[in-house]
A and B are shown apart, each in its own frame.
Chain A
């Protein structure tokens, strides 16, 4: 867990340790050595994967170096990625049709990549406006073909202008310059994509790397390699971040150390009054706190694991001047003298987030190593020696690639804090008292367009409380939402501690007099509160009104959803043999009367009004 790993020192590392090195590095030699090892040890390395996916690379240039590193980049975020490089310069030939090769491959993702040469007219003769129009048309057409013709999710690399502008310093002001054409093409593609295309922002990567070095023209002229070889790991890593965010594999909880991580000094040595965030060194800690606060605003759950007296910690947050983070910004605080791995495990249990949703950030390499050895699915970030480098150590880590916030994300971190509080409260009283005491209110609604983002997020990210684990993209949900054979309802839950927002979803497919529960899921922050019963009751009520007399439920076991194996029998469903695949179990519930749906309902959750399940209408 150091920043100075060399290809030779990788040999002795186990895969979880090696992947931690890869996440924190963009060194080409290290990446190539690790990628070569991945090709040799595919099976052993595959243990670190949580998902499998297939990606086809379609580009107007050489992608060999990039494609060679993509499986490693993907594995670093938990994806076993099969990468297929299509022959370069054949985008239309492959996608219009599409080609038999692509159809046979049926990739989950199609990655489109071009260069400024593809969009900027050569020489000065071209009409810039027409060029922008044509490029946006061409590349969005390609994306549309990949999406409609292959059912693939499209990832588009944004275009990067060359640094050879005849107008030089004036180029940015002139709308015929490469810079201007390229930026309008990128903006045009984003507008056309309307949220359906994922982008790798190469312009940002180039700026970060150094625009003047982003391309080595000798390599471009010789082998059509568009990006300097040393910049390829950065590009592969950013691509992996995009995949991770899309597949819901980005880490959801950041656990931070305190002494010399959030502030300068150690409470144990200097006391709560002796640590601080002032002076030039302190300013770097402040900047780091602000960065963490920014992650929190985007929905990242923050927690603390610290070897300190717990009573002194809150005092530092309260009394030390200049602190940006408040004690209440953390959804869970573990302090004491247990090993960090034990603290991390407790945080995972209290917040009901898997260890593979966790990132530990610590300035002490020994603590990081201890956690990684005990809990290999946790990502660990060892901070560099000086606090000025802390933000840089987190920025662009692919495991922290967040998707843009949906409106519900903002409330999520708060809701996890409430969950931890509720978890502590429940210790003493009975479950019924606990549930009644929460004073829960739920609103069940028909899925509407404005809730599609959140619904897609739930469907792609929910693992534990998910009866069938079926994944639908936003676009698929949009189609099903308008399909009369489908009943889709969302549930928003609040209680006296927090508003949890939209945290549940049920999808029923109506076939004659039978309605099958295709999908039933709850976000892990509202598990154990009987909210699933409200969804089942609402779905059953709607199914009755649609003429259904039999409700069919299926449980498809996955590695993570054992929790819900007994849901249907407990709700009063009868076993009905196996489902459509070998592992699945089916259950049935007869809707004998209009009131039958109410039998499925929960007594602990009040109806919050509009769009409610409407059992009273029956």
Chain B
């Protein structure tokens, strides 16, 4: 789900490298905010506030979402 939301938010497909990337240039803060918004809308959850400002990589984001939805 997170990966498909990412693809929608950025208009790009996601590969293994991106999951672990710490490169903040991978997506800008606006895309990040929209990504969080999409995840919240789709799953009907509210992620912790620090997710909005944090620069987690995709892998960490997936983990956060998993714990917010009780799947962690």
Contact = CB atoms under 8 A, between A and B. Distances in A.
B8 interface: yes
A129 interface: no
Contact of B37 (A64, A68, A221, A229): A229
Interface string A213-235: 00000110111010001100000
A584 to B, nearest CB: 45
Instruction: Tell me what chain A mostly uses at the interface: helix, strand, loop, or mixed.
Output: helix
Interface residues of B, number: 13
B56 interface: no
Given A218-B52, A223-B53, A7 B8 contact: yes
Instruction: Tell me what chain B mostly uses at the interface: helix, strand, loop, or mixed.
Output: helix
Contacts of A219: 33, 37, 52
B34 A65 contact: yes
Nearest to B9: A32
B7 to A, nearest CB: 11
B13 interface: no
Contacts of B8: 7, 29, 33
A221 B49 contact: yes
A288 B38 CA distance: 36
A390 B53 CA distance: 42
Interface in B20-51: 29-30, 33-34, 37-38, 41, 46, 49
Interface in A41-87: 64-65, 68
- What is the size category of the interface that chain A forms with chain B? 10 to 19
Given A218-B49, A218-B52, A223 B11 contact: no
A64 B34 CA distance: 11
A222 B34 contact: no
B30 to A, nearest CB: 5
Nearest to A39: B11
A36 interface: yes
Contacts of B53: 222-223
A221 B29 CA distance: 14
Nearest to A225: B33
Interface in A285-327: none
A225 B30 CA distance: 10
A218 to B, nearest CB: 5
B34 A36 contact: no
Interface in B56-72: none
Given A7-B8, A229-B37, A65 B49 contact: no
Which 3 A-B pairs rank lowest in CB-CB distance, beginning with the nearest?
Answer: A222-B52, A64-B30, A222-B53
Interface of B: 8, 11, 29-30, 33-34, 37-38, 41, 46, 49, 52-53
Given A29-B38, A218-B49, A222-B53, 5 more contacts: A29-B8, A221-B49, A223-B29, A223-B52, A230-B41
